[in-house]
């Protein structure tokens, strides 16, 4: 039985209790929401995470960090350093998106080392293996793909992004309306190539039940990928994106029927005025399934600072219902992220997630802000540094002010308003 099937039968598992404690929720609430599909605990049946997490209704907003080598740059040590940096900065999850000759070794090492859930995109492995054996992507068979899914599930992957909603209907919607940037999802692009060349429906849609059977066997959470996500703000919420979301809604219900936990993936590039509507639409169509969003980036021109554009969009989206924020790093659109980029991206997303938790009135989050403000009132710099989202950076800034043991800072000195009136 999967975790979801257990919840449906009224069983409260150990990990339901663990996340209930983390979140300050009743275990019964966690069980009931999990049974309804509105909350997930991504954890492979063969694994025991030291830090399991719940994603979805009633829980704090979670943050994922994407790591992984690329065909251009492959280093196991560097990817493990990224994993450590992400976890140290507070990531609740990592996805290993490695593509390249070392991808299997890297994934296994990440799975072994990570205290938090690990996600993958199995299609990347299949695509790379086809490419390495000089076969065209369009030659992919469903056996190739299912073998990868099973292999990764056996290895312990906790959640997998699979782009089962990239179908002929989404493609037709895209062709009918036209788009500024057609497809910017790697997985989506593979499938569109496949469908165009084979002139057939996507096998990931046609043989969806076979995928579900493997996922259910290992209780792998299905993250339904958005291969049609807009890669330009001009395309946000268009027909292609909406057509795919409708298919994801159908696929959500089919997965639930087989006991598979589901997350829905979302955009991408979306201007601020369209975010709230998109969050509401996803919840309505997909029956409240958790929404896992990339950014969204609120502008296309923030290259070098896309972690900030993503934090703006992510905070606002999570206030309006998004549950899980996939970080964006300063390297987005420009290069594979470095360890420092991973750190900055994770911190920016944590700020967005925390801002959204505050906006939802989450008690623990409000208490943390209150403690910081009290530390400011007391001019207690040690506590201020410790309560900061990144104590190392805050401490560094404080130290570089060369103010010694003074109780004020170099901004106002003796004219400090707090010193004059509050302390």
Residues 63-122 that bind a copy of itself (CB under 8 A): 70-73, 99
Q: Which residues pair with 160 in a beta bridge?
A: 120, 222
Helix, strand or coil for residue 295?
coil
Does the protein bind a copy of itself through residue 342 (CB under 8 A)?
Answer: no
Per-residue contact track with a copy of itself, 7 to 46, x per CB under 8 A?
----------------------------------------
- The shares of helix, strand and coil residues in the chain, as percent rounded to the nearest 5, are 55, 10, 35
Does the protein bind a copy of itself through residue 273 (CB under 8 A)?
Answer: yes
Binding residues for a copy of itself, total number by CB under 8 A: 97
Q: Which residues pair with 263 in a beta bridge?
A: 223
**In the range 400-419, which residues lie near a copy of itself by CB under 8 A?**
400-401, 403, 409-418
Does the protein bind a copy of itself through residue 372 (CB under 8 A)?
Answer: yes
Does the protein bind a copy of itself through residue 220 (CB under 8 A)?
Answer: no
Piece of 25-33, 88-96, 113-121, 315-323 that binds a copy of itself (CB under 8 A): 315-323
CA atoms in the 13 A half-sphere facing the CB of 294: 22
Nearer to a copy of itself, 135 or 335 (CB): 335
In angstroms, what is the minimal distance from the CB of 409 to a copy of itself? 6
In angstroms, what is the minimal distance from the CB of 207 to a copy of itself? 23
80 vs 84: CA distance, rounded Å: 6
How does DSSP assign 28-49, residue by residue? HHHHHHHHHTSEE----TT---
Binding a copy of itself (rule: CB under 8 A), the pick from 11, 138, 142, 301 is 301
Piece of 18-26, 34-42, 111-119, 231-239 that binds a copy of itself (CB under 8 A): 231-239
CB 252 within 8 A of CB 166: no
Does the protein bind a copy of itself through residue 138 (CB under 8 A)?
Answer: no
Nearer to a copy of itself, 260 or 351 (CB): 351
Nearer to a copy of itself, 109 or 137 (CB): 137
Binding a copy of itself (rule: CB under 8 A), the pick from 207, 250, 360, 383 is 360
- Per-residue H/E/C for 108-129: HHHHHHCCCEEEECHHHHHHHH
Q: Which residue has the tokens 């201007």?
A: 271
CA-CA-CA-CA dihedral for 234, 237, 240, 242, to nearest 10: 180
CB atoms near residue 128 (< 10 Å): 18
Supply the DSSP symbol for 389: S
């Amino acid at each position: 039985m999967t975790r979801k099937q257990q919840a449906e039968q009224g069983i409260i598992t150990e990990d339901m209790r663990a996340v209930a404690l983390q979140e300050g929720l009743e275990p019964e609430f966690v069980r009931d929401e999990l049974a309804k599909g509105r909350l997930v605990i991504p954890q492979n049946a063969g694994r025991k995470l030291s830090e399991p997490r719940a994603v979805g209704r009633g829980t704090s907003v979670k943050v994922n960090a994407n790591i992984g080598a690329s065909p251009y740059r492959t280093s196991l040590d560097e990817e493990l350093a990224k994993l450590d940096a992400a976890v140290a900065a507070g990531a609740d999850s990592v996805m290993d998106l490695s593509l390249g000759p070392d991808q299997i070794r890297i994934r296994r090492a990440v799975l072994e080392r990570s205290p938090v859930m690990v996600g993958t995109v199995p299609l990347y492995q299949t695509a790379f293996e086809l490419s390495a054996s000089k076969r065209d992507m369009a030659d992919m068979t469903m056996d190739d793909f299912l073998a990868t899914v099973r292999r990764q599930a056996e290895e312990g992957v906790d959640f997998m992004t699979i782009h089962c909603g990239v179908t002929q209907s989404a493609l037709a919607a895209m062709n009918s309306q036209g788009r500024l940037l057609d497809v910017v999802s790697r997985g989506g692009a593979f499938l569109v190539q496949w469908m165009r060349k084979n002139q057939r429906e996507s096998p990931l849609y046609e043989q969806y039940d076979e995928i579900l059977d493997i996922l259910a066997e290992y209780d792998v959470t299905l993250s339904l990928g958005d291969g049609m996500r807009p890669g330009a703000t001009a395309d946000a919420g268009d027909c292609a994106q909406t057509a795919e979301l409708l298919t994801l809604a159908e696929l959500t219900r089919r997965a639930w029927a087989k006991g598979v936990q589901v997350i829905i993936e979302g955009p991408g590039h979306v201007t601020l005025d369209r975010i709230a509507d998109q969050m509401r639409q996803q919840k309505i169509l997909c029956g409240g399934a958790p929404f896992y969003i990339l950014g969204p980036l609120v502008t296309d021109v923030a290259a070098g600072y896309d972690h900030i554009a993503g934090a703006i969009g992510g905070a606002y989206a999570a206030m309006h219902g998004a549950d899980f924020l996939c970080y964006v790093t300063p390297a987005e659109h420009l290069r594979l992220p470095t360890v420092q980029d991973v750190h900055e991206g994770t911190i920016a997303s944590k700020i967005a997630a925390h801002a959204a938790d505050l906006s939802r009135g989450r008690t623990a989050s409000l208490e943390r802000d209150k403690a910081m403000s009290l530390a400011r009132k007391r001019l207690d710099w040690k506590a201020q540094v410790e309560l900061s989202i990144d104590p190392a950076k805050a401490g560094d800034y404080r130290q570089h002010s060369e103010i010694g043991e003074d109780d004020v800072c170099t901004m106002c000195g003796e004219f400090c308003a707090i010193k004059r009136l509050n302390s």
